[in-house]
Amino acid sequence: MNAERPALADARLERYVALVLERNAVQNLTAARTPDAVFEHVRDSLSVVPYVREPFVDIGSGGGFPGIPIAIATSYRGVLVESVVKKARFLEEVVRELALPLEVRVGRAEDAGRAPELRERFASATARAVSSLPAVLELTIPFLSVGGLAVLQRGRLEARERTAAHDASIVLGATIEDDVALGGELDGRRIVLVRKVAPTGQRFPRRAGIPAKRPLCFEGGGDD
């Protein structure tokens, strides 16, 4: 690790960084290949902690960002949803080794969001680097109880995507409550906060792949 970098506040965060690097050497877990790069993901993940409440769900956790750092920092109970089996197995190993109060759900958010034990059960939902904002809204909002908050990390947000997200929120029974621009070392990053105000219609989320391919209210904003 970089000698100039202060140690992370919790030894488990340091251990988590080591586990990500170790696994990344044999499996494509994340594009972050150096301790500094993984540390940046941890720092970015921790930026959402003030907005997250228990229980939370993290959609498309990948190597565990932001769900694992949130659980280490808060001890909140949560569920990590990840569709790639190998990544989900890694998450299970981390959860076990660090004794975190997390459950890993292997599968698509479109399916998990329809499961009675997960639908409308969470106070907060996170999703980092998963898809366009309207698509992410469709993948997260169904998990929230009415009154719950989606805490969504974004980079740059173009006006067209923002407008689509506003409209998609209404369709899903939610409303954009705030858009927090981060400063300092996270300059250029933002956290979009979306409050669920009514139950989500039963037709959402649409079937697997559709939210990203044809994002709600976002013509031409799909993945293909």
Does 215 bind ligand SAM (CB under 6 A)? Our answer is no
Nearer to ligand SAM, 82 or 161 (CB): 82
How is 176-224 classified by DSSP, letter by letter? EEEEEEP-GGGTT-EEEEEEE-SPPPTT-S-STTHHHHS-TT-TT-S--
List, in order, residues 6 or more apart from 73 with CB less than 8 Å away: 9, 10, 13, 46, 49
Contacting ligand SAM (CB under 6 A), which of 8, 38, 68, 81?
81
Nearer to ligand SAM, 30 or 200 (CB): 30
Nearer to ligand SAM, 108 or 195 (CB): 108
Nearer to ligand SAM, 110 or 169 (CB): 110
Strand partners, 103: 79
List, in order, residues 6 or more apart from 203 with CB less than 8 Å away: none
Question: Least distance from C-beta 62 to ligand SAM, angstroms?
Answer: 2
Site pattern 114..153 for ligand SAM (x: CB under 6 A): --------------xxx--------x--------------
Contacting ligand SAM (CB under 6 A), which of 16, 39, 65, 90?
65
Contacting ligand SAM (CB under 6 A), which of 37, 49, 84, 180?
84
Question: Is residue 38 a contact partner of residue 8, using CB atoms and an 8 Å limit?
Answer: no
Q: Could you give the 3-state DSSP secondary structure of residue 98?
A: coil
Q: Could you give the 3-state DSSP secondary structure of residue 124?
A: strand
In the 8-state DSSP scheme, what is residue 51? G
Residues that bind ligand SAM in the complex, under the rule CB under 6 A: 30, 41, 60-63, 65, 81-84, 87, 108-110, 128-130, 139
